């Protein structure tokens, strides 16, 4: 007997709200494409049953278009599908769409047994277990698609194979359509725009173009270090499904370095540095914006 188990797809999840609307809408459609991918994998492995568990849909209201598209995907296969849903998960779905005949919706249970394995859900997690007593083996099922930057999406679905007696063989399959990746960059190693761009290019080399990427610049940098944001956009443009950049650098400024400097630039830096109501990152952003503006450069923050 072969089963395919998928967990936490979360169709309807709002995702990363900073995404532009067209990208966010496409990401929602791609979550349904992830479901299509799972059903295709099930067919290719001659799976007898697919079990959807722990949040096929996200919590809260789900647009009618997403419900209909999901049901269309579920209806595209003749494989038996069991959906172990959370009680709060689209409670009115049967009044809004016609569910496929081969889909078995279970709401009143937090566990389901299939051969030698058992699946259980709680408010946030899904566990697959087999065995008893001291021999019990427990696997936590991660989301099929990651829910944010840095999320663990190493195992998106599981193929389970077993005979009538004996333990099951469990294998993690596939990968997310849009991995959410965070890259921390040590900006203290860069002193020019060229250095910065080289740092970025090295950090993104080999990454999946379908990724959602977040670059975070960290470390102390000089006020004189300038990053041309237009050049950075050129490096990232059309390379990934979605990309964003965060600047969490601090200013590498020795105490008293500007005490004898009577220029407007130095006075501006001293004024910002003495404002205790600002965080270190906020001071850095204000200093660099002011420094660039007073030097006639593009505001890079």
pLDDT digits (tens, 9 = 90+) for 63-110: 999 999 999 999 999 999 999 998 889 999 999 999 999 999 998 888
> Tell me: the pLDDT tens digits for 152-202?
665 578 999 988 777 889 888 878 888 899 999 998 888 777 888 898 999
What is the per-residue pLDDT for 71?
95
Out of 173, 207, 234, pick the residue that ends a domain.
Answer: 173
What is the per-residue pLDDT for 271?
78
Q: How many residues does the chain have?
A: 301
Highest mean pLDDT among 150-154, 245-249, 256-260, 266-270: 245-249
> Tell me: the pLDDT tens digits for 212-241?
999 998 888 776 676 777 788 888 888 999
10 Å Cβ neighbour count for 281? 14
* Mean predicted confidence (pLDDT) in 125-151: 79
DSSP-derived secondary structure letter, 46? T
Helices marked H in 205-279: 229-236, 264-273
Read off the tokens for 146.
């990651």
What is the per-residue pLDDT for 284?
73
Q: Report phi then psi at 3, rounded to 5.
A: -125, 150
Q: Do 169 and 238 share a domain, yes or no?
A: no
Percent of the chain with pLDDT over 70: 87
What is the per-residue pLDDT for 168?
86
Q: Report phi then psi at 238, rounded to 5.
A: 60, 15
Report the relative pairing of strands 111-114 and 117-121 from DSSP bridges. antiparallel
> Tell me: the pLDDT tens digits for 269-297?
777 777 888 887 777 777 777 766 666 66
What is the per-residue pLDDT for 268?
74
**By residue range, what is the domain housing residue 211?**
180-294
Residue 248 has pLDDT above 60, yes or no: yes
Q: Do 20 and 49 share a domain, yes or no?
A: yes
What is the per-residue pLDDT for 2?
93
Q: Do 117 and 229 share a domain, yes or no?
A: no
Count the domains in the chain. Answer: 2
Band the pLDDT of 145: cuts 50, 70, 90: confident
Identify whether 300 is part of a domain.
Answer: no
Q: What is the mean pLDDT of the chain?
A: 84
Out of 128, 146, 173, pick the residue that ends a domain.
Answer: 173
CA angle 124, 175, 107 (to 5 degrees): 35
Q: Do 156 and 43 share a domain, yes or no?
A: yes
Q: Are 251 and 257 in contact (CB under 8 A)?
A: no
């Amino acid at each position: 007997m072969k089963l395919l188990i998928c967990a936490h797809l979360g169709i309807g999840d709002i995702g990363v709200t900073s995404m532009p609307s067209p990208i966010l809408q496409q990401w929602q459609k791609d979550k349904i494409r992830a479901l299509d991918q799972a059903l295709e994998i099930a067919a290719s492995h001659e799976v007898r049953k697919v079990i959807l568990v722990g949040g096929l849909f996200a919590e809260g209201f789900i647009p009618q278009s997403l419900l209909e598209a999901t049901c269309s995907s579920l209806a595209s296969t003749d494989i038996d599908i069991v959906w172990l849903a959370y009680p709060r998960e689209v409670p009115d779905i049967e009044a809004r769409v016609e569910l496929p005949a081969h889909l078995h919706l279970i709401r009143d249970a937090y566990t389901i047994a299939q051969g030698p394995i058992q699946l259980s859900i709680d408010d946030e997690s899904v566990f697959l277990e087999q065995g008893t007593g001291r021999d019990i083996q427990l696997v936590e099922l991660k989301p099929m698609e990651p829910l944010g930057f840095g999320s663990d999406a190493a195992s998106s679905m599981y193929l389970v194979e077993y005979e009538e007696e004996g333990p099951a063989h469990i294998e993690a399959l596939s990968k997310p359509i849009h991995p959410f990746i965070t890259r921390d960059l040590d900006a203290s190693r860069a002193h020019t725009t060229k250095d910065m761009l080289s740092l970025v290019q090295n950090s993104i080399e080999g990454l999946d173009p379908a990724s959602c990427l977040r670059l975070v610049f960290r470390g102390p940098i000089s006020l004189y270090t300038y990053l041309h944001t237009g050049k950075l956009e050129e490096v990232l443009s059309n390379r990934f499904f979605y990309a964003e950049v965060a600047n969490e650098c601090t200013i590498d400024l020795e105490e008293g370095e500007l005490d004898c400097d009577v220029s407007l630039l130095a006075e501006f830096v001293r004024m910002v540095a003495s404002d205790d109501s600002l965080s270190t990152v906020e001071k850095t952003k204000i200093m660099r914006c002011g420094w660039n503006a007073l030097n006639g450069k593009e505001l890079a923050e």
